[in-house]
Amino acid sequence: MFSFFQIKIYRRKFIAYAIFTLFMGLILSVLTTLVLLQQWLENAQNQATDAFSRVESILQNDAERVEAYLQRVYSNNGLVADVRFFLSNSAEGYLTGRLQNSRYDQPLASFPEDVKAFLGSGQEDIIQVSLHTEERGNVVRFASNGATSFLFNLPNTDEIFLETIQRGFVIRKQLLDENQISRQLGEFRFLVSSDVLFKGVRNNRWIENGVVSEAGDVYLMDVGGSADQDLFRKVALNERSKGFMQWGKLDRVFYVTHSSNAYDYQFISIVDMSVLIRQNAGMLLIVFLIFLTAMVSFLLLIGYNLREDAGFLQRIIYSIQRVKSANFTPISPTRYRKNEYGMIARELDDMTLQLNRHIRTEYLLKLRQKETEMKALQNQINPHFLYNTLEIIRSFALAGRAVDTAEAVATLGSLYREIVKNEDIILLGSELALLEKYLKIMEFKYPDKFYYQINVDQGLLALPTVKFWMQPLAENFFVHGFHSDHEFNLLVVNGMENADSYVLEIVDNGNSISEGRLADIRRNLSFVGDSSSESIGLRNVYTRLHFFYGKGFTMQIENNVEAGVKITLTIVKEA
């Protein structure tokens, strides 16, 4: 799937796509998370507003119920009288006053029973009604099970009359004299329980609600939550009605504040962001997985397309390498695809097939033609060499040199066994062995007058070459430079390996060549066509070696400083 990583341009392109995709996926994930968080916070704000509206509605309803009850009291003389009796210092005084002033023809009114029936049935949020003078107060309490209890003659400073947000809200109403409206007999205090009032607000697992009074008292609706009273007090002191606040080193909270106009308190809702994220981790995980799946799918799609293009590019590179190495063997055709790389790969395959056809029809024919020409050159040399050698053996026989004749015949036979073998290409070591056999024959002919040396580096012996080209060069020495009356005729063959080429030298100490003749020989080496028989040996050798090694082969012929001729052959290693 990811084989295109082997190509630098596609590797970089895929890395760039991957970085861009991850960057965009990260941005979209963050934006989506922020949108979800904003939505959740808006929901929290709406829930806080609804909760505050419900509390205010309940308090308003309680105030209206209290007002309605007082109207009920003032409209009933019996209740008014019973309320006055309730202001006595004890329960016995209350009961005695009621009985003494009761009439047999009228029903006995009871303020505690009436207020219980009207306001405190056990299911309501008004849990306590007290009637106060300037110094003391009497209490009617309503339990959640419907029971009623009474307390008399309690000082106004008693804890039961302590007004805190933890206990609830107090609705105060004056008790007026029905006969003299300007005269105040006492004060009614109706206690609305915070526990009952805010019980219906505890309805969200990640929103914590609380109430803060003007005095700084805090009522927490969610006992055991992460927010404490100090946090609610800090929010209450903030002038903004909503926003974010840092709490501690790591915690960050969102708050919404509603201030009551009728009562001295602030309704505060707090959302702990860490709790919000933990509670909605499943939704955030789903969003993350959706974006991760989308990114992976996008990268796989990109990888698939890049792999297709990389495959075509590798096929193109492979086709070019095959052409450079002259490998035109047919291979399975590439899958066609309508894009630039696919079309180029298909065209290169077609070009390779066409080249293969042209090579078979044209190049191989030319190669066979060259091989035929080289064989013709070889055939020109072989008879010439054979005639000369047979002439030497004939002279041995006429002179009565039976042993030399026998050895010369044996050497000639061994030499010709190697020559007639069906080998056009041999190693340079084998070619030197053929030359040495020829030179031995020449030693038989000129005993004590001809000497030879072969000094060739071992690295040259395994060099491929054409067969039987050294003998014509050595034969030139005997034809043009050898002195039969001299006692020391020398032929030296040197072979050296340089850094970038192989060098062979054939050096003799015979006659030098005139400058004019030397120029003609050099010019005739590469001449195409018939030439004089005098230079056929050198020209054939040059032509055969040039066919074999190509432009990497050169031959130089020059005179030695002291005497004789040096032929230098240079073969570039690349050839």
Q: Please indicate, yes or no, if residue 135 is contained in any of the structural domains.
A: no
pLDDT value of residue 464: 93
Mean pLDDT of 404-425: 79
Pair 485, 392 in one domain: yes
172-217: per-residue pLDDT in tens?
A: 999 888 777 778 889 999 999 988 888 877 666 778 889 999 888 9
**Of 531, 435, 444, the residue nearest 491 (C-alpha):** 435
Cα–Cα distance list, 444 to 349, 389, 435, 436, 491 (Å): 63, 11, 15, 13, 15
User: With pLDDT > 70 as the criterion, what percentage of the chain qualifies?
Assistant: 84
CATH number for the domain that contains residue 227: 3.30.450
Q: What CA–CA distance (Å, rounded) separates 175 from 132?
A: 9
6-64: per-residue pLDDT in tens?
A: 666 777 777 888 888 888 888 998 899 999 999 988 988 998 899 899 999 999 999 99
> What domain range includes position 253?
202-279
Q: To the nearest whole number, what is the mean pLDDT of the chain?
A: 83
Mean pLDDT of 276-305: 86
Q: How many CB atoms are located within 10 Å of the residue 71 CB?
A: 10
Q: How many CB atoms are located within 10 Å of the residue 91 CB?
A: 14
pLDDT value of residue 261: 86
Which band of pLDDT confidence, cut at 50, 70 and 90, is reported for residue 498?
very high
CATH number for the domain that contains residue 532: 3.30.565.10
pLDDT value of residue 569: 96
Q: Are 559 and 512 contacting, i.e. CB atoms less than 8 angstroms apart?
A: yes
Burial state string for 325-350 with b = 16 or more CB within 10 A and e = fewer than 16: eeebeeeeebeeeeeebbebbbebbe
Mean pLDDT of 288-309: 83
Asked whether residue 311 carries a pLDDT value surpassing 90, the answer given is: no
Q: Which two tokens stand for residue 455?
A: 């000094």
Domain boundary among 229, 246, 279: 279
pLDDT value of residue 337: 59
Domain boundary among 279, 297, 322: 279
Mean pLDDT of 409-414: 84
Q: Which two tokens stand for residue 327?
A: 């490998």
Q: Please, what's the largest Cα pairwise distance for the chain? A: 192
Q: Which two tokens stand for residue 167?
A: 């206990």
**Of 283, 285, 466, 435, the residue nearest 371 (C-alpha):** 466
Spatial strand order of the sheet with 450-456 comes to 450-456, 489-497, 501-508, 565-572, 553-559
Mean pLDDT of 158-162: 92
pLDDT value of residue 533: 47
Pair 528, 395 in one domain: yes
Q: Please indicate, yes or no, if residue 224 is contained in any of the structural domains.
A: yes
Q: Please indicate, yes or no, if residue 410 is contained in any of the structural domains.
A: yes
Asked whether residue 104 carries a pLDDT value surpassing 90, the answer given is: no
Pair 223, 367 in one domain: no
Pair 266, 393 in one domain: no
User: 204: helix, coil or strand?
Assistant: coil
Asked whether residue 489 carries a pLDDT value surpassing 90, the answer given is: yes
pLDDT value of residue 331: 67
Pair 256, 366 in one domain: no
Rg of the chain (C-alpha set)? 62
Q: Which two tokens stand for residue 125?
A: 């949020």
DSSP 296-313: HHHHHHHHHHHHHHHHHH
pTM, 2 dp: 0.53
Instruction: Name the most confidently modeled range: 227-231, 252-256, 347-351, 365-369.
Output: 252-256
Asked whether residue 503 carries a pLDDT value surpassing 90, the answer given is: yes
Q: Please indicate, yes or no, if residue 325 is contained in any of the structural domains.
A: no
pLDDT value of residue 322: 72
Burial state string for 363-391 with b = 16 or more CB within 10 A and e = fewer than 16: eeeeeeeeeeebeebbebbeebbeebbee
Asked whether residue 376 carries a pLDDT value surpassing 60, the answer given is: no
**∠ CA 99-105-109, rounded to 5°:** 50
The residue ranking higher by pLDDT, 556 or 390, is 556
Domain boundary among 228, 260, 279: 279
Cα–Cα distance list, 38 to 31, 34, 241 (Å): 10, 6, 17
How many independent structural domains does the chain possess? 2
Q: What CA–CA distance (Å, rounded) separates 359 from 415?
A: 37
Q: What CA–CA distance (Å, rounded) separates 544 from 288?
A: 77
Pair 257, 375 in one domain: no
Q: Please indicate, yes or no, if residue 503 is contained in any of the structural domains.
A: yes
563-575: per-residue pLDDT in tens?
A: 899 999 999 988 7
Q: Please indicate, yes or no, if residue 84 is contained in any of the structural domains.
A: no
Q: Which two tokens stand for residue 550?
A: 């190509």
Q: Please indicate, yes or no, if residue 275 is contained in any of the structural domains.
A: yes
Q: Please indicate, yes or no, if residue 179 is contained in any of the structural domains.
A: no
Asked whether residue 531 carries a pLDDT value surpassing 60, the answer given is: no
